[in-house]
Structure 1
Amino acid sequence: MTSVANLIAAAAETERRTRTMLGDTIAIGQPATMTTTCDSQLTADPWQIDTEPGYGPGASTGDVAPATAPQQKAIPASYTQATDAELHDRIVAAKAQLGDRVKILGHFYQRDEVVKHADFVGDSFMLAQAAKDHPETEAFIFCGVHFMAETADILSSADQAVMLPNLAAGCSMADMATIDQVESAWQQLTEALGTSSGDKAEVIPVTYMNSSAAIKAFCGRNGGIVCTSSNAATVLEWAFERGKRVIFFPDQHLGRNTAKAMGISEDHMPLWRPYLPMGGNTMQQLQDAKVILWNGFCSVHKRFTVAQIDKARADYDDVQVIVHPECPAPVVEAADGVGSTEYIRKAIAAGKPGDVFAVGTEINLVNRLQAQHPEMTIFCLDPVVCPCSTMYRIHPAYLAWVLEEYVAGRVVNQISVDPTVTADAEVALERMLAARP
């Protein structure tokens, strides 16, 4: 057998073994055959479901969580039984006592009762940058999800602590690409295509910020780079200067939308399905590829449809439709504008009284924008609210607990990336920081 044939056989065996281990994967929500694909019942407090592995209420019912996903331990009843007002007062008091020793980083998608306590509010990149820009701070409390706290730990100094109030706050998209899967795909690609052709690499790995520290490190040591939703095009240009093609993970939609906007045909964007030999592609498809797309997605942004845009245009004559680039390509192409959460925020801030915006992104941000701009009409395209369920796991009770523990001299829920991983991941992240649009 040729080396490629051996790889295909090995990949098939890997797929067989993986499928026999599906008992180690936890399905969350209702069966995929259900017509409703989103459980929007967010009334339960997170600690009521933190004892069960998974993404929790609000998650897409098609999401699965790996058995290795971190779980949050129980916190004292003095927090879970406190009223909203009591938690607010405790957070304010702890912050006042800690002063500048601690900074709270709050993602745009967080619930309002958490965001109001944040020292910095932004997307994952902006918050990681805030951690990097404040070496004087002892510790950061990252009100976001696991991969974001990892990135903040990588970019901050070794003597600074990064804490995640609820360890169960993961990311289903990030979980769709594991380091073992990525390493296997890389082995298959390099065996099939080689490593370099002339002065260019055959494949440059590019990972979205929404990925594990291990995958960022993989990119760093293999000539690759990290991208954000705002600089993805600049990053792809960087990659094409150095390689003939790109493998882009884990979000296929951001990769596809960015490449299409650059004039790359979908015929040159095969999908890599990690459980299939050669990702389910032929040798010719891989040789012809410009961007190999990993089969991952955001469950929230995948829900937006062209039909929702059509309805918004039927309901409002002058509606402006703005969507996130994690949405499917037909949705992006039907919209008036596409960009990161920061792009969406700025586009609406530039609007005029009476303007109408239909927005394709997470509901907490959309509702906050409407509250901030009552002179406009701002609504979510999706009538079935499907929020980022793992962001919802950050409750004021957990924030109060982490703060008061730090007041007492204890660091809890620390996210600490192994130094060997940090070194390679920082290479890829610094390349990203230099790739300004």
Structure 2
Amino acid sequence: MTTSINDLIVAAPDTSCDVELAKGPWEFDTFPGYGPGASENDVIPEPVVRPGQLPAEYQRMTDDELHARIRAAKDKLGSRLVILGHFYQRDEVIQYADFVGDSFQLANAALTKPDSDTIVFCGVHFMAETADILARPEQHVILPNLAAGCSMADMADEDSVEACWEDLMAVYGEEPDADGKQPVIPVTYMNSSAALKAFCGRHGGIVCTSSNAATVLEWAFERGQRVLFFPDQHLGRNTAKAMGIPLEQMPMWSPRKELGGNTVEELNDAKVILWHGFCSVHKRFSVAQIEKARAEFPGVKVIVHPESPMPVVDAADAAGSTDAIRKYVIASEPGDVIAIGTEVNMVNRLAAEFPDRTIFCLDPVVCPCSTMYRIHPGYLAWTLDGLVAGELRNEIVVPDDIATDAKVALERMLAALPK
């Protein structure tokens, strides 16, 4: 049941996955916002800074010409180059990745090639930042398209989190309790800026991924009385709920409201304070979609990503990271029907890899991640050609003062192995 993105766009032109997604992303990189296909729920940060367009030469190249350029550059660069590709990346790009995985796996993969000169990260901005922080000082990290950001990551900015922290310190005080536990431990999801990872490093906190979120929360509760979890409310809520924390002890923090929209009493009773952020792709999944899948395919197995809303996770048969979803499919049997709630590029790739199963995306609109989709073979060819010519194009460099603190939080994350 594999279907191309372009087929789906043509089939459903009246949906939010508009026909412009079939165009080259360079046509939109200088526009404000996240581009065609982005959710109307995305909160666009101001000001929005966009890079210049891809050189016209690469815009005009045919697919065959672009792929020939990429292969030739890879051959010439050899072991000096390592390409990392996220599961959500488009197939035309993922075929060139030396490592494919989720954010936790790719953070580790970046450490396994210490002799490479350059890491090309086919993902989004926060992933490339993480690779730069963990890389050796002499290694370079490139993001093929600087417009490949993350709307969720943009929902928690450094100023808002600092202001939240000041408010929480005013409520809780800064002294540990009789057991030596701090009043609150900050935990940021990998889908956040390097500055927020550094914030966690400075304040005794940690980074998590969807793979190790439960391990990270256990780590945090060993050291603190409560957790401030940002930017994804759904991953935080679903993980904490599975650990037995009641919903009434998980208040939402809305950064534009006084005390995040909470009372002092609610904050004192809190165990996990959830930031008002979300993934616009995973927010699309619904219980109605699961019910429809079960009605049309009796016996269907449903697995969703924990960035999905809590009712969706509760209604599914299983929930897990992108790697967990992949393992779930691998463990299935021929003839199984599996409905998956995550980004469509990964779902279609699994469907193609396991043709003896019926695998489909829960969302009938099946929008790709509009920012991940900005990594196009044209950008990959352009950046690799630059490396061959001795030029670093679209290099990601995290300032030393931020990288030092962020690395503390990231190393804590890497030590918190998924269960």
With the shorter chain as reference, the TM-score category is over 0.9
Aligned to 2:214: 233
Aligned to 2:147: 168
- Given that 1:63 and 1:172 are in contact with CA atoms closer than 8 Å, whether structure 2 keeps it comes out as yes
- Given that 2:117 and 2:140 are in contact with CA atoms closer than 8 Å, whether structure 1 keeps it comes out as yes
Matched, 1:265 2:253: no
- Given that 1:361 and 1:380 are in contact with CA atoms closer than 8 Å, whether structure 2 keeps it comes out as yes
- 1:40 and 1:300, CA in 2 relative to 1: closer, same or farther beyond 3 A? farther
Deviation at 1:375, TM superposition (A): 0.7
1:111-140 CA deviation, whole Å, 9 max, x = no partner? Answer: 100001111111122112111221101001
Matched, 1:126 2:105: yes
Give the letter for the 1:45 counterpart.
G
Give the letter for the 2:51 counterpart.
Q
SS at match of 2:414: helix
Aligned to 2:132: 153
Deviation at 1:78, TM superposition (A): 1.7
Query: What are the equivalent positions in structure 2 for 1:337-352 lying under 5 Å apart?
Result: 337-352=318-333
Deviation at 1:241, TM superposition (A): 0.8
Give the letter for the 1:100 counterpart.
S
Distance 2:394 2:214 in 1: 35
- 1:185 and 1:422, CA in 2 relative to 1: closer, same or farther beyond 3 A? same
Give the letter for the 2:31 counterpart.
E
Distance 2:391 2:15 in 1: 43
Deviation at 1:69, TM superposition (A): 3.9
Aligned to 1:51: 30
Deviation at 1:214, TM superposition (A): 0.4
Query: What are the equivalent positions in structure 2 for 1:31-110 lying under 5 Å apart?
Result: 39=18, 41-110=20-89
Distance 1:141 1:40 in 2: 29
Aligned to 2:271: 290
Aligned to 1:31: none
Give the letter for the 1:239 counterpart.
A
Give the letter for the 2:43 counterpart.
V
- Given that 1:39 and 1:386 are in contact with CA atoms closer than 8 Å, whether structure 2 keeps it comes out as no
SS at match of 2:21: coil
- Given that 2:104 and 2:211 are in contact with CA atoms closer than 8 Å, whether structure 1 keeps it comes out as no
Which structure has more relative contact order (CA 8 Å, sep 6+)? It is 2
Deviation at 1:177, TM superposition (A): 0.0
> Residue 370 of structure 2 is aligned with which of 371, 389, 395?
389
SS at match of 2:211: coil
Query: What are the equivalent positions in structure 2 for 1:313-328 lying under 5 Å apart?
Result: 313-328=294-309
RMSD: 1.2
- Given that 1:53 and 1:67 are in contact with CA atoms closer than 8 Å, whether structure 2 keeps it comes out as no
Deviation at 1:38, TM superposition (A): 5.3
- Given that 1:253 and 1:328 are in contact with CA atoms closer than 8 Å, whether structure 2 keeps it comes out as yes
Distance 2:226 2:17 in 1: 36
Aligned to 2:168: 189
Distance 2:17 2:376 in 1: 21
Aligned to 1:373: 354
Q: TM-score, normalization: structure 2?
A: 0.94
Structure 2 gap ranges (5+): 1-13
Give the letter for the 2:65 counterpart.
E
Matched, 1:405 2:401: no
Distance 2:88 2:73 in 1: 24
Aligned to 1:306: 287
SS at match of 1:384: coil
Aligned to 1:252: 233
1:139-163 CA deviation, whole Å, 9 max, x = no partner? Answer: 0110100000000000111110000
Distance 2:116 2:214 in 1: 33
> Residue 317 of structure 2 is aligned with which of 315, 323, 336?
336
SS at match of 1:132: coil
Distance 2:166 2:152 in 1: 23
Distance 2:347 2:20 in 1: 18
SS at match of 2:229: strand
SS at match of 1:374: coil
Distance 1:274 1:219 in 2: 18
Give the letter for the 1:328 counterpart.
P
1:215-235 CA deviation, whole Å, 9 max, x = no partner? Answer: 000000101001110111111
Distance 2:265 2:46 in 1: 36
Q: TM-score, normalization: structure 1?
A: 0.90
1:22-72 CA deviation, whole Å, 9 max, x = no partner? Answer: xxxxxxxxxxxxx96554641121111112122111110221322344423
Aligned residues: 403
Give % identity.
66
Distance 1:38 1:188 in 2: 40
Distance 1:72 1:44 in 2: 18
- Given that 1:102 and 1:138 are in contact with CA atoms closer than 8 Å, whether structure 2 keeps it comes out as yes
- Given that 1:37 and 1:62 are in contact with CA atoms closer than 8 Å, whether structure 2 keeps it comes out as no
Give the letter for the 1:295 counterpart.
H
SS at match of 2:226: strand
Matched, 1:356 2:352: no
Distance 2:19 2:282 in 1: 15
Give the letter for the 1:139 counterpart.
T
Deviation at 1:357, TM superposition (A): 0.4
